[in-house]
Amino acid sequence: MPAVTTGQRSTILVVEDEEGIARMIQVLLEARGFATLVTHSGDEALDRLAVHPVDLVLLDVMMPGMDGYEVCRRLKADLRWRHIPVMMLTARDTVRDKVLGLEIGADEYITKPFNTEELIARIKVLLRIQGMSQALVRRNRELQALNAVALAVSRSLSPDEILNGALTCTLDTLGLPQGLMHLVESRSGHLILRAWRGLTTEPEEALRRLSPGTGWTWRALQQEDPLLLPDAAQGDGLGLASGNPPRPLCAVALRSHDRGLGVLTVVGRPEQQFLAEETALLAAIGRQVGMALENADLYADSRRKVQEFEALYQLGRTMASTFNLQDILSRINQMVSSLLHAQAMSLMLLSPDGRVLSMAAGYNLFDEAVEATEAIRSRQDSSPSLIAVREKRPVAIPDIATDTVYAPWLQAAREQGYAAFLAIPLIAQDRAVGCMNLYMTERHEFDQDEIQLVSTFASQAAISIENARLFEETRQLAITDELTGLSNHRHFYNQLAREVRRAQRYKRPLTLLMLDLDYFKSFNDRFGHLAGDQVLREVAEVLRRNARDVDILARYGGEEFAIILPETDLDRAALQAERVRAAVASHAFRGKDSNPQGDLTVSIGVATLIPGMRKIEGLVHDADQALYRAKTGGRNRMEMSRPDARPADPT
């Protein structure tokens, strides 16, 4: 129990059975500035101490009933009073009496008659020693509390674990019944309740999220010294009714490097008063917790940076290992969704002509987002994705429910339970090629670091898209006939080899058509190469219109074409060949009226893959032989190969 003073005066309990002597000592002490309490027996002294703590006991030894030795013995045996210095003032002056008193626990022994100045001086010495002792006890208590809090906050780098551990240690060390911890939310600036102990009910909403500048917590955060309220019922949301015995409240800021991170609030016992050393201890705990939170934030930030660098490294590896656009977009989806904890994400790309924005890859998307295709418009009432692309800037919507600008375009997202949205343009060489959209299920204030991170990935995505498009264009140039847009001679043989392997492995039919335009050389000589090129383009278009999706079309060379028919036997291939022949014959080619041979026609040779055929050249040879027979047999016709007439493949 701490020393009790009246103002700045120490309180001395005088225990003396003779009323005259007791009165004289009382007058003497009060004249020297001390407050006094007077009792005339040992029992009365103990009863008075139970309700009125004092700083020193001036104790007579020879008293009726319980003598001074027994009173001293009981005082020193009781934890409540053992710290109070006891001075025996008695007429018993033998060495044996003095030794007995000191052994029982008296701190000083003075015999009567006494010298007044000596008595006062010895009282002051005892009080000074007592003050230093109490200061050491308080300091030790503070160090124990700070050590306990330090141990609690050092066990983890999780802010919630730091707060809960620190709060528990603080309440246990100071013997307090209730406590709260609020942290400043960096994005919104609100104080968010993160830990609590001792509340009789669940915290009210008014206590869970505090707007800037409201309530006792913000007052505590904004001032240097601890905030003290004489009655915690004045604190909104604590659920404490006024009219009960008042319980004090103390709130201190959690600070690190003069930056307010949050607030620690504790509620005292009924009619308790927080002493200056207790508020100083709470302030020290607030600084210690603030430093722990700062360390946790630095650790989280370093881990986040490592994850970002790792993600960028992995993305770089993906970009270096493949030009497959879907693989790259899927990888970016996974990384950004993971780093920003987005519940859904989409990547939209501009069409080559720059007129249409459509979904190219996505993660956990709802149907409306998957099917999203938007024409680029110049007017202002556009979706956030279009604005991001058109104006080449991020569009952040922290709360879809309260947004009024983009509400029509985000209605579907809101109905699916999404609360926040971010659109980042994909920019390559100062040209927008698409956008990246993030959806979150909780309201989210996107800070500059997050936008910068997503923008970095968006830049990588834009570069990847451009590289993939260039690669695809180069690849197409390498495998495509420039004039007709069909596969070229080399690519034809690669595809034929692949289809032959597949057909032989799974024992499926495969047929090849070889086509040659009739009298094309004469047409070319008469009308020129430009007209001839136009005819070849139109033939290619006729073939496309009369082919299945699985059929492979190629320009074999000159005026010759080839069609690979997977999963097609000879009979069905013959029907397909006849359909193609008729389509070419009926097509209205430009300049056909001036052609001496009349309509342009085509001759077709049909060959099928037979068992034992080991080389693709054998299949091509059979189709070519059938084509030769069609040409020599009158043209504008179809001939099928004769497998029984061809020589066997050499072994």
| Cβ 311 vs Cβ 339: under 8 Å | yes
Q: Which residues contact 361 (CB under 8 A, 6 or more apart)?
A: 326, 329, 330, 332, 333, 346, 347
| Cβ 445 vs Cβ 301: under 8 Å | no
- Does an H or E element contain 517, and which? strand 510-517
426 beta partners: 434
Q: What is the four-CA torsion angle of 373, 377, 383, 387, rounded to 10 degrees?
A: 120
pLDDT value at residue 73: 94
6-33 confidence digits (pLDDT tens): 346 899 999 999 999 999 999 999 999 9
Distance of CA 432 to the CA centre of its chain: 28
From the list 559, 560, 567, 578, the catalytic residue is: 559
Band (pLDDT 50/70/90 cuts) for residue 3 is very low
| Cβ 218 vs Cβ 260: under 8 Å | no
Other beta carbons within 10 Å of 126: 21
| Cβ 607 vs Cβ 641: under 8 Å | yes
What is the pTM assigned to this prediction? 0.52
Lowest mean pLDDT of 181-185, 437-441, 452-456, 608-612, name the range: 452-456
237-278 confidence digits (pLDDT tens): 666 666 677 889 999 999 988 888 999 999 998 878 888 888
473-485 confidence digits (pLDDT tens): 777 778 899 999 9
**DSSP class of 487:** B
- The C-alpha atoms of residue 407 and residue 389 are separated, in whole angstroms, by 18
555 beta partners: 561
Distances (CA, A) of 229 to 212, 251, 430: 20, 9, 59
pLDDT value at residue 172: 86
Please give the angle made by the CA atoms of 625, 626 and 630, to the nearest 5 degrees.
115
- The C-alpha atoms of residue 594 and residue 416 are separated, in whole angstroms, by 65
Please give the angle made by the CA atoms of 517, 519 and 524, to the nearest 5 degrees.
95
Q: Is 559 a catalytic residue?
A: yes
Band (pLDDT 50/70/90 cuts) for residue 373 is low
- The C-alpha atoms of residue 466 and residue 475 are separated, in whole angstroms, by 14
| Cβ 264 vs Cβ 284: under 8 Å | no
Instruction: Count how many residues are written for the chain.
Output: 651
162-173 confidence digits (pLDDT tens): 889 889 888 888
559-602 confidence digits (pLDDT tens): 999 999 999 999 999 999 999 999 999 998 865 554 555 578 99
Structure tokens, 134: 């109490």
Please give the angle made by the CA atoms of 370, 372 and 377, to the nearest 5 degrees.
160
Question: What percent of the chain lies above the pLDDT cut of 90?
Answer: 40
Whether the predicted pLDDT of 5 surpasses 50 = no
- The C-alpha atoms of residue 181 and residue 175 are separated, in whole angstroms, by 17
User: What does DSSP say about strands 356-363 and 344-350: parallel, antiparallel, or unpaired?
Assistant: antiparallel
- The C-alpha atoms of residue 3 and residue 21 are separated, in whole angstroms, by 26
**DSSP class of 373:** E
Please give the sequence-ordered ranges of beta strands (E in DSSP) within 211-365, or none if there are none: 227-229, 249-256, 259-267, 344-350, 356-363
177-201 confidence digits (pLDDT tens): 999 999 998 777 888 999 999 887 7
Buried b (16+ CB within 10 A) or exposed e, 368-387: ebeebebebeeeeebbbbbb
| Cβ 468 vs Cβ 475: under 8 Å | no
- The C-alpha atoms of residue 107 and residue 86 are separated, in whole angstroms, by 5
- Does an H or E element contain 432, and which? strand 431-440
Q: Which domains does the chain have, with CATH numbers?
A: 5-136 (3.40.50.2300), 155-299 (3.30.450.40), 322-466 (3.30.450.40), 489-645 (3.30.70.270)
Please give the sequence-ordered ranges of beta strands (E in DSSP) within 29-149, or none if there are none: 35-39, 56-59, 86-90, 108-111
- The C-alpha atoms of residue 499 and residue 28 are separated, in whole angstroms, by 120
